[in-house]
Structure 1
Amino acid sequence: MAHMLEFWFEFGSTYSYLTAMRIEDAAGARGVTVRWRPFLLGPVFAAQGWDTSPFNIHKAKGEYMWRDMARRAERYGLPFQRLPATGPGAFPQNGLAAARIALIGLDEGWGEEFARGVYSAEFAAGHDIADPVLLQRLAREAGATGDVLSRAQTQANKDRLKSNVDEAFRRGIFGAPSFMVDGELYWGDDRLADALDAAAA
């Protein structure tokens, strides 16, 4: 029997976009079930003494990442555009509200579609995913009903996201996307195939 694969993702993560847009098809072809786990990289970076993405801290690494993203997106047939370095929608974007909404959607069956919508809005269209109007629209398009923004801001839901971040720390997750299979960590979009192999074994 195939195992479950946990997909830990952060909405500000470029490489998580590549994974989110193809993981379900890739996993389905292997008979693997995916559990989507939103979390935040900000606290992880802060624990390492960083106040932003390492791709911003190290210019050469950042330039490489943007070129690599363009190559990989083309390979997968995904639209992609580089985000600005400053101003509204600058990289890395604030995915806090989106992550809180995703938790609700994952409970109600529309979270995966919402997550893909957020990633497309961000990395394919260049929109600012901190915009509540955008998030409400994406949630409705994915299948949400009612005022999902208010539900996402309840203390109980905020605590759930914090719990995910705490769990990521405990399990040694230090970046996104990350995959967990039977306690084994695989990090990076380019390790998705390895994680699926392990889950399907």
Structure 2
Amino acid sequence: MARRPTLEFWYEFASTYSYLAAMRIEALAEAAGVEIRWRPFLLGPIFAAQGWNSSPFNIYPTKGRNMWRDLEREAARLGLGPVTRPASFPQNSLSATRTATYGADQDWLIPFSKSVFEASFARGQSIAEPNAVSQILDRLGLDGVQILKAASNEANKTRLRVNGEEARSRGIFGAPTFLTDDGELFWGNDRLEQALAWAGGERPGSLR
């Protein structure tokens, strides 16, 4: 049986559009016959390298207001329910991202990731504190305290830093980003369908 093509899904827990992508990518990938590799990473260091000390949606308020309205429209269109803004945006996602990095090869990575996004953008809850992340793990039937402890060890911290360096080296500048087997980069939730099509072998006529 031929190996299915793979699409890497690079996502940041503080990213609104990563939320939308995370909640719909599985069904679309299954229909396209594409495997998804979930790649959590921290976008803050990449923004800092571009001279930004916050999200561009905060730096440019008009853009930010439009983003929140767009998020509401898209969430409603996708049947995700109302958007509830967290008190702080962007949230500090370090603890959640360390945890997802630790769970990269575990079967709980995807349900955990989706649960973090739902907590932040569907319920407006904080995901910044380790205790909040631990509670999400507990609700999934996992041992939150032990996983948080393991996720905080030096080996996992190094793994997260290496992932960030890989993201920069591969040209990632925002989230969500999708990378195909042949290195084609697609940025943004609105490019998910095109990314899956490319991963599956479809090419526009002029790019064949």
TM range (shorter): over 0.9
Match of 1:184 in 2: 184
Partner of 2:154: 155
**Secondary structure in 1 matching 2:42:** coil
Find the counterpart in structure 2 of residue 57 from structure 1: 59
**1:157 and 1:136 mapped to 2: Cα distance?**
17
TM-score, with normalisation over the residues of structure 2? 0.91
User: In the alignment, does 2:175 pair up with 1:173?
Assistant: no
- Give the AA of the match of 1:148: I
Q: Which of residues 77, 80, 105 in structure 1 aligns to 2:79?
A: 77
CA deviation digits over 1:118-157, x for unaligned, max 9?
0000000000001222211212333533611110100100
- Unaligned 5+ residue runs, structure 2? 202-208
Is contact 2:75–2:83 with CA below 8 Å preserved after alignment?
A: no
Aligned equivalent of 2:142: 144
Q: Structure 1, unaligned stretches of length 5 or more?
A: none
Task: Determine helix, strand or coil for the equivalent of 1:66.
Answer: helix
Contact 1:111 1:142 (C-alpha < 8 Å) held by counterparts:
no
Question: Where does residue 194 of structure 2 map in the other structure?
Answer: 194
* Counterpart secondary structure, 2:105: helix
Alpha-carbon distance in 2 for matches of 1:192, 1:158: 29
Contact kept in structure 1, 2:84 and 2:123, CA below 8 Å: no
Matched, 1:113 2:111: yes
Q: Which amino acid aligns with 1:159?
A: T
Aligned residue for 2:43?
A: 41
Give percent identity, aligned residues only: 53
**C-alpha RMSD over aligned residues:** 1.3
> Bigger radius of gyration, 1 or 2?
2
Contact conserved, 1:179 with 1:186, CA < 8 A, in 2?
yes
**Paired residues, what number?**
197
